[in-house]
Structure 1
Amino acid sequence: MKIFNFFYYSVGQAYLNTFRGLSKEVWWLAFITLVNRAGTMVIPFLSLYLTTDLNFSLDDVAWIMTAFGFGSLVGSWIGGKLTDVIGYYKVMVISLILSGFLFIGMQYLETFNTVCIGIFVLMAVADMFRPAMFVALNAYSKPENKTRSITLIRLAINLGFSAGPAVGGLIITTMSYGALFWIDGFSCMLAGFLLLKVLHPKKSKTIYTEESTHPLSAYSDKSFIIFLVAMVIFGIVFLQLISTIPYFYKEGIGLTEFEIGLLMAMNGLLIFIFEMPLIKWFENKTFTKIGLMIFGLILICISFLFLIIHPWLGFIIISMILLTFGEMIVFPFSNSFALDRAQRGLKGQYMALYSIAFSISHIFAHNLGFHLIDSYGFDITWTIMSVFGLLGLGLLLYLKKQMLATKQTI
């Protein structure tokens, strides 16, 4: 009992304190994101679904995932435009409810052309949500709580991600992939109706929104453009997690879908346990956002090397741990960096470009990864990804030097 009390009052309370001070709206937004993400079980298994259930070749899958990326890019751009015109609330509602219907419809597409078109339209609608959600988060957060608010949203995403793949793998083995599309669709619609219920503008006060009197175009912000290019490179490396890495787990190591789901669930569980305390600790230090992004990207590069050493499960787990800690450092601080820059001008445009950076990554990441595996095998692919990550590191180091020279906040 004494050990339990010690754990609760020291460790437990310290953990809970990292969540204090966040607004009610941020908590609701996190819960809606959790509901939405918990149902998106098909995404981590998409490459497996296309190869095993629809019998597409790796070349076909690569181009379908490219359509995935193009849809994400178009959706992020439209979402940013609409956010600056009609507001973030309407964009989020439209995106959630429409994407629910589209998820359900995806299971009925079976030819290469229809799947490409379907995945493009689905992602265009679904990713309208991202820039709108970032602007909403900015509106609902005090400046000093911004990074932790972002982290709470990521915790919701990853809590759903930790449960979703594990349950998804079980559903695949006991039922079918089709059941996942139904669950995805209904979860998106449920999240949309919940948003209508609890975050309607008449019930929420955006008390922290700061409007710029002379908004600047994000396209003229040279430092932001360099940052975006670095994020594209980071995205290409990191996004192997949702396409080629699960494929490697199955074809390179021989894991089952359920075992793959458990490995992916570990990613979300680690983030749920460690990310908020880690971010809180970093915020209390003198580290810069760019410096932390550099450190996180180094961890991700190293994680790929463990996939090469030996196909032993222990190394695979170490790789996932390193990749996860790199992810939980890069994403919150890059997102916070983008939100800080967005105060200079059109918030929807800035956050749309931040989202588009990862959409561009989607276009190239999966196509490049699968073609490299098809041509050179797994080891060469992971080596190339590590080297590619070093290019992103070089850009971030250049950005840090350039911003220090011009006395900008880093």
Structure 2
Amino acid sequence: MTMFGGLPRGFWWLWSSTLVNRLGTFVYPFLTLYLTLDRGFSATAAGLVVSCFGLGSVVGSLVGGELSDRLGRRVTMAGSYVVTAAVTAALAVTTQVAAIALLTFLFGAGSSAPRPALSAVISDLVGPEDRQRAFSLNYWAVNIGFGLSSVMAGFLVRADFVWIFIGDAATTLVCGLIAWLRIPETRPATKDAARDPASGPDAARGLGLVLRDSRLLALTAVAFGLWMLFHQGVTTLPVAMEAQGLSTQTYGLVISLNGLVVVLLQIPLTRWLAGRRYGRLLAGASVLFAAGFGVTAFAGSAALVYGLGVVIWTVGEMVFAPTSAAAVADLSPSHLRGRYQGVFGFGTAAASFAAPIAGGIVLDRADGTVLWAACAAVGLLAGCAFVVLRLDGSAATRQARREDVAERPPAADLRGTTGT
């Protein structure tokens, strides 16, 4: 089977919506510049407002996971995209500081809410043997779209800041239409209300059941640590490089290697990873994170060494992101997949909020060498944790996979299903 073969039609509509969504990611990367240059905010005020996006993302992950199991994957995605489009358009014309902060919070929540549902759809449509490949392809679409959107947003900003809001809102609305019209509703039908808290009188217990899964919580905690490292590369790395006398243009070239490596190597790397145990892959990815940021500790003012570090931890990111999502899908019962992905996404979103604060504190009180050494230590500890967790290979996991295959509708039924 080829890298692109054997996946249901519904997955490719989902993949297309992901690509469109990321192609229109205009507002968030330029939000700080918009607030300072166009609205006259101070750097501190702009930073506080942008932090509301991270807080919204944390809430949106949990809410999106809950809604995708209660109401359905398709309605959660479509509704979230439509609400986000409206909020984005409102941000373009709002001038009051409190209102902008509130809308930014809602923007973060709306942007994050579809992700658990999206991951749940992939888990529903694709069998355990192909999930890592499917999540890798979707992650590839994320990076292709985001890389191109950064270029397009630069041209839009030159014309007028309002165009980034219009473009972002328009592409988000298109995603909502794709989700409603073309992505199938895959939420499993309830077979036994007593064992399915996703619906019926026991619905409120669903999240409580998820939070009692110690392996999920451990995986989420370790993933939080690794995503804290990733965000150092996009928040504190430019500050550390500037302190070494390197220009912002140099940082731009160095960090552009992240997207370039993902776009070029995600597909061949996924072929190589196929069939390998998730636990070993996650441990290996953690070591790559540790090595990439550890190299940075010795970079000094050498831009090439910073670039080498980015390439190394990017490979770790490429292994970790789809593999961890597939591991969560394997851990979750079919009727709780949205909530499982929502709780896991909560850790990821929390890292995006906490990482800039933690990195800034370390840089202020120590220096870049201490920060990167600490990052390397966290990566190595995460690798050890994944070895202990043994996320696959157990009898319980093999049984869960067999039950997943038995409960999943035939692929032929799902391939021909649309939302119309």
Shift of 1:56: 5.8
Q: Percent identity?
A: 24
Query: CA contact under 8 A between 2:75 and 2:180: conserved in structure 1?
Result: no
Aligned partners of 2:365 and 2:224: how far apart in 1? 23
2:313 paired with 1:323: yes
Q: Is the 8 A contact 2:10 2:184 kept in 1?
A: no
Q: Within 5 Å, give how 1:268-307 maps onto structure 2.
A: 268-284=259-275, 287-307=276-296
Equivalent runs, 1:11-410 vs 2, <5 Å: 17-46=2-31, 60=45, 63-108=48-93, 113-172=98-157, 174-175=158-159, 177-199=161-183, 201=185, 206=186, 213=192, 214-215=195-196, 217-246=209-238, 248=240, 253-256=246-249, 263-284=254-275, 287-308=276-297, 309-343=299-333, 346-400=336-390, 408-409=396-397
Deviation per CA, 1:115-140: give whole Å up to 9, x if none. 43232111112211011111111122
Aligned-partner Cα distance in 1 for 2:57–2:387: 28
Counterpart of 2:273, as a letter, is F
In 1, the alpha carbon distance for the partners of 2:191 and 2:285 equals 32
Give, in whole Å, the separation in 2 of the partners of 1:145 and 1:250: 43
CA deviation after TM superposition for structure 1 residue 234, in Å: 1.3
- The answer as to whether partners of 2:144 and 2:263 remain within 8 angstroms in 1 is yes
Q: 1:181 to 1:153 in 2, by over 3 A?
A: same
Rate the CA distance shift 1:112–1:327 in 2: closer, same or farther, 3 A.
farther
Quote how far apart the aligned CAs of 1:160 are.
0.5
Distance 1:193 1:149, change over 3 A: same
Aligned to 2:408: none
Quote the Cα distance in structure 1 between the aligned partners of 2:123 and 2:296. Answer: 38
Q: For the Cα contact (< 8 Å) 1:162–1:267, is it kept in 2?
A: no
Runs of 5+ consecutive residues of structure 1 not aligned to the other structure: 1-15
Cα shift at 1:24: 1.3
SS of alignment partner, residue 4 of structure 2: coil
1:2-17 correspondence to structure 2 within 5 Å: 17=2
After TM superposition, give the deviation of residue 363 of structure 1 in Å: 2.7
Change (3 A) 1:185 1:265: farther
State the distance in 1 between where 2:360 and 2:36 align.
12
Q: Which residue identity does 2:130 align to in structure 1?
A: N
1:92, distance to aligned residue in structure 2 (A): 0.3
1:166-224 Cα distance to aligned partner (Å, 9 max, x none): 3334544x3454432332222111221233332265xxxx4x96978534822221122
Inter-partner Cα distance in structure 2 for 1:311 and 1:179 = 37
Looking at structure 2, the residues matched to 182 and 307 of structure 1 have their Cα atoms a distance apart, in angstroms, of 39
How far off is 1:279 after superposition? 2.0
Q: CA deviation at 1:85?
A: 1.4
**2: distance between equivalents of 1:376 and 1:110?**
38
Shift of 1:75: 0.8
Contact in 1 for aligned 2:91/2:165 (Cα 8 Å): yes
Give the whole-Å Cα distance in 2 for the aligned partners of 1:283 and 1:316: 30
Letter in 1 for 2:178: L
Aligned residue pairs total 383
Distance (whole Å) between structure 1 residues aligned to residue 278 and residue 126 of structure 2: 18
Deviations along 1:205-248, one digit per CA (max 9) or x if unpaired, are x4x96978534822221122111111111121112334333555
How many angstroms does 1:344 deviate by? 6.3
Structure 2 vs 1, CA of residues 171 and 261 (structure 1 numbering), >3 Å: closer, same or farther? Answer: farther
Q: Contact conserved, 1:212 with 1:344, CA < 8 A, in 2?
A: no
Query: Does structure 2 conserve the Cα–Cα contact (< 8 Å) formed by 1:47 and 1:247?
Result: no
CA RMSD after TM alignment: 3.1
Counterpart CA distance in 2 for 1:376 and 1:312 is 20
What's the offset of the Cα at 1:90?
0.4
Q: 1:60-118 CA deviation, whole Å, 9 max, x = no partner? A: 56544543222111111111111111100001001112112222333455676444323
Aligned letter for 1:191?
Answer: C
TM-score normalised according to structure 2 size = 0.80
Give the AA of the match of 2:257.
M
Cα distance in 2 between the residues matched to 1:370 and 1:57: 18
Between stretches 39-48 and 317-326, larger displacement belongs to: 39-48
Deviates most, 146-155 or 362-371: 362-371
Q: Please give the alpha-carbon distance, in whole angstroms, between the structure 2 residues aligned to 1:260 and 1:320.
A: 11
Preserved contact between residue 233 and residue 391 of structure 1 (Cα < 8 Å): no
Question: Aligned partners of 1:72, 1:36: CA distance in 2, in Å?
Answer: 16
Amino acid at match of 2:174: L
Range 154-163 or range 178-187, more displaced: 178-187
What SS is found at the alignment partner of 1:22? coil
Cα 1:45/1:393, change in 2 over 3 Å? farther
Deviates more, 1:232-241 or 1:89-98: 232-241
The answer for unaligned runs of 5 or more in structure 2 is 197-205, 399-420
Q: Residues of 1 paired with 2:160 and 2:253: CA distance? A: 18
CA distance in 2: counterparts of 1:68 and 1:118, whole angstroms: 9
How far 1:403 sits from its partner (Å)? 7.7
In the TM superposition, residue 31 of structure 1 has moved relative to its aligned partner by 0.9
TM-score by length of structure 1 reads 0.82
Change over 3 Å in CA distance of 1:64–1:265 after alignment to 2: same
